Amino acid sequence: MISSEVRNSEIERLETFFTFRNACKSGSIGLKSIEPAKLRDFMPVGSTEYARGQEFKFTDEKSYLNYSLYKLWIIAMLNKTELLDLATRLAATLLEMEAKKKDEGNRGKTTLSQGIEDVKTAKNLRGFIDALTPLIEGSNADLFVDVVEQVLKMPTDNFPLFITLVRFELSHLKYLKSKK
């Protein structure tokens, strides 16, 4: 059974992006200095330096542990736990939209799939809003408006973290769906 809580011993094994020496050179040791080492592999390409845009895959307990640590660090950096709920709701809505189109047949599926991919790979706030706009339907309009309002309120350097959180939640929901 995979635990949803991250234990102290697991946090101590966290590999960071910056070495301790490089973190000290920046002048202070803060939360940013302990960024998880491979987190940027999953951030949208072009959103931040060294971002690679890979999809997160759940393969074993270690991948689930990494997901938990990445998510924990992102939430701490965003400093707003409500954004986790918002990211989860957005991911669930995108997954439902994708499933609904699959049930209706192939017509329009390519456009919708590309729209969802554009949301997931948005490099900046403008690209994110542009990708989200065509996906608005009556049932999800309030959620999308709330997402846009919250994203507009956050500092621009936090946007890549938020979109990465959405990507993680989408991968997690797909993983849970595949287990059923």
Per residue in 121-167, pLDDT tens?
Answer: 999 999 999 999 999 887 889 999 999 999 999 998 899 999 999 99
pLDDT digit string, tens, across residues 80-122: 888 999 999 999 999 998 888 776 665 545 678 888 999 999 9
Q: Output 51-56 pairs: Cβ under 8 A, ≥24 positions apart.
A: 51/160, 53/121, 55/167, 55/171, 56/167, 56/168, 56/171
Amino acid at 56: F
φ, ψ of residue 64 to 5 degrees: the values are -65, -40
Domain boundaries, the chain: 8-179
Name beta bridge partners: 19: none
